Amino acid sequence: MQQRQYQQAAINFLVSSKRGIVKAPAGAGKTHIAASALAVCLSKRSGIANVEVMVNTREQVDQMLVACGRFAVIAAKCNLHVYCAAGAPVNTQPHLLIVDECHRAAALGWRTKIEQCATARWGLSATPFSGDSERDAVVQQLFANNLHAIERTELVHDGHLASAKVTWHDVQANEAQGAILSNTEALVAARRKKMPYLFSNEPNANKQINQCKWQAAQQHGIWNNSKRDMLITALACSALADGRHVIVLIGSIDHGRNLLTGIPGAELVYSKMGAKRRADAIARFKTGALRCMVGTSAIEEGFDAPIADTIIMAGCGRSERKAIQATGRVLRPYDGKQCGHIHDFSDGFNPMLKRQAAQRRRIYGQLKYNQKLY
């Protein structure tokens, strides 16, 4: 099978590594790289009879099985078990454990399973490190601090990924800020009354107050903000009128239901809707039969739909991992796709939301996304 140069380099890295991580942007073919490296190992040497692959979603299970199914040597020479981390088998000792979305490795359930595998471990992620020093140290330790990075800018330059165009929209909703302030005060008072020990010193009190500020900002600045919702639905409808395939990323199912009323033909996708219904909606979106999905984190990572060319970041937040993973959904190459369109919101009416927007703007800048204020 013909490999792209950057894929072959990553395959060589894994084949030569007992433990290590391949860091690659969405669309680079991490699943294909892992399957190819496994096939090379099996064709060159024995001793890898039992192989397990741990992923995050059911969709990723299917993707890995398809990728591995392209290599006859995998079926012939090893016992392959692909599973979601939530249903990971216990007390097994595979000769090789492949961990997709390995940035999750520091989570207790993931870490416990990974540590059971004392031999070879390969990790795959677009964002293996979060910036949290303790969590990052765990990930580094689990994979021997051995990293091979594939740079997004190189893939864009060589035509393997679409470029990114970010349009920023400033939402002015002073009435929402009034509701945020009132709700923050009420939340702090209720928490102080119910759990006064959480306010025993200034650092702890500040932490609780900031949590209340964020809760109120989400509730009234994002999820129940009519001006913001009108802009989101207008952007989605405009993109659909231009023939695009749109993802609206949300942080609340109720918020998604509200947005559906303003986007004809859109469907809501979330993790607890039922595997069959979710798979059906995703399949129709991939073929173009469904052109707008309003979704939660269920489509934030590990979601492969190259036809998607527009994402509206309706959910806010400051997480670097989430920003990279989410925007990567629209940067996979597809026939006729010149670039991935990303719509984000500066939310200048609220200091916390404004700071988070500034953080995302910095992240996009580091990724060399083209940005403009509308």
Whether the pLDDT of residue 186 is over 80: the answer is yes
Q: What pLDDT score does 37 carry? A: 96
161-183 average pLDDT score: 93
Q: Are residues 250 and 335 in the same domain?
A: yes
Q: What is the pLDDT of residue 90?
A: 77
Say which residues have a Cβ less than 8 Å from residue 249's Cβ, sequence separation at least 6: 295, 296, 299, 300, 311, 312, 313, 314, 315, 326
Q: What is the pLDDT of residue 46?
A: 67
Q: What is the pLDDT of residue 236?
A: 98
Nearest to 103 by CA among 151, 79, 71, 135: 135
Tell me, what's the pLDDT at 302? Answer: 66
Q: Are residues 234 and 292 in the same domain?
A: yes
- Confidence at residue 254, expressed as pLDDT on a 0 to 100 scale: 94
Same domain, 146 and 216: no
pLDDT category of residue 299 using cuts at 50, 70 and 90: confident
**Average pLDDT of the chain to the nearest whole number:** 92
User: Do both 236 and 365 map to the same domain?
Assistant: yes
Judged against a pLDDT cut of 90, whether residue 239 lies above it is answered with yes
**What gap in Å lies between CA 127 and CA 123, rounded to an integer?**
11
| Tokens 């520091």 sit on residue | 106
Residues 292 and 347 occupy one common structural domain: yes
Is the pLDDT at 107 greater than 80, yes or no?
yes
- What is the pLDDT at residue 92? 85
Can you state the angle between helices 253-260 and 226-241, rounded to 10 degrees?
A: 60
| DSSP codes of every residue in 87-98 | G--SS---SEEE
Chain segment 242-256, per-residue pLDDT in tens: 999 999 999 999 999
Query: What is the residue whose two structure tokens read 């190259």?
Result: 306
Domain boundary among 131, 157, 183: 157
Q: Residue 144 carries which side chain, given as an amino acid letter?
A: A
215: phi > 0 → left, psi -120 to 50 → alpha, else beta; which? alpha
| Pair (12, 152) in one structural domain | yes
Residues 6 or more apart whose CB falls under 8 angstroms from that of 147 comprise: 20, 21, 23, 128
Average pLDDT, stretch 73-100? Answer: 90
Domain boundary among 157, 183, 200: 157
Question: 274-293 pLDDT, tens per residue?
Answer: 888 988 999 999 999 999 99
Confidence of residue 312 (pLDDT cuts 50, 70, 90): very high
- pLDDT score recorded for residue 16: 93
CA distance 325 to 330: 10
Per-residue pLDDT tens digits for 4-57: 999 999 999 999 999 999 999 988 999 999 999 999 999 987 678 899 999 988
Quick one: 102 and 45 in the same domain? yes
Identify the residue whose tokens are 């796709």: 337
Domain tally, the chain? 3
Q: What is the DSSP letter of 327?
A: H
Same-domain status, 258 and 274:
yes
**pLDDT at res. 89:** 83
With a cut of 80, say whether residue 177 has pLDDT above it. yes
What is the pLDDT at residue 140? 95
Q: What is the CATH number of the domain that holds 269?
A: 3.40.50.300
Q: Which residues contact 259 (CB under 8 A, 6 or more apart)?
A: 229, 232, 233, 236, 248, 250, 266, 294, 314
Residues 233 and 342 in one domain: yes
What residues make up the domain containing 364? Answer: 163-173+226-373
Q: Please indicate, yes or no, whether residues 200 and 185 belong to a single structural domain of this protein.
A: yes
User: Residues 24, 121: one domain?
Assistant: yes
* Same domain (yes/no): 301, 368: yes
CA dist., res. 100 & res. 57, Å (int): 10
